[in-house]
Amino acid sequence: MKRLTALLTATLLTAPSLFAEDKVPALRGSPAEAREPSAPSAPSDDRLELIPTKPAQIMPLPAGLPLIPEIPLPPSRSRPESPIRKRDSVTADSEESVKQRIRLRETKTKAQRDPAVQAEWDRAGGLRTDYEKRETMKSYYRLLYGRMTKIDPALKAPIDILLQESLARLDQTKIAPTQPPSTIASGPRAAR
Residue 108 lies in a domain: yes
> Residue 108's CB: how many other CB atoms inside 10 A?
19
| Residue 113 belongs to a domain | yes
176 within domain boundaries: no
The reported pLDDT for the residue numbered 153 is: 94
> Contact 111/141 with Cβ under 8 angstroms?
no
Those residues whose C-beta lies under 8 Å from the C-beta of residue 59, and which sit 6 or more positions away, are none
Give the pLDDT band of residue 109 (cuts 50, 70, 90).
very high
Pairwise pLDDT comparison (114 vs 92), residue with the higher score: 114
Domain count, the chain: 1
Residue 147 is assigned to a structural domain of this protein: yes
Within a domain: 86: no
Cα dihedral 103, 104, 110, 115, rounded to 10, equals: 170
| pTM for this predicted structure | 0.48
What gap in Å lies between CA 111 and CA 51, rounded to an integer?
87
Asked whether residue 15 is domain-assigned, the answer is: no
Instruction: With respect to residue 102, please indicate whether it lies within any of the assigned structural domains.
Output: yes
CA distance 170 to 178: 12
How much is the pLDDT for 36? 53
Kindly compute the dihedral angle of the four CA atoms of residues 136, 138, 140, 141, in this order, to the nearest 10 degrees: 170
Higher pLDDT, 82 or 2: 2
What pLDDT score does 112 carry?
A: 95
Q: Which domain holds residue 105?
A: 93-171
Task: State the pLDDT at residue 33.
Answer: 54
User: Is 166 among the domain residues?
Assistant: yes
pLDDT value at position 89?
75
Q: Identify whether the C-beta of residue 126 lies closer than 8 Å to the C-beta of residue 120.
A: no
Question: Is pLDDT larger for residue 46 or for residue 146?
Answer: 146
DSSP single-letter state for residue 113: T
Average pLDDT over residues 118-140: 92
Whether the pLDDT of residue 150 is over 80: the answer is yes
Evaluated on CA atoms 184, 187, 190, 192, the torsion sign reads negative
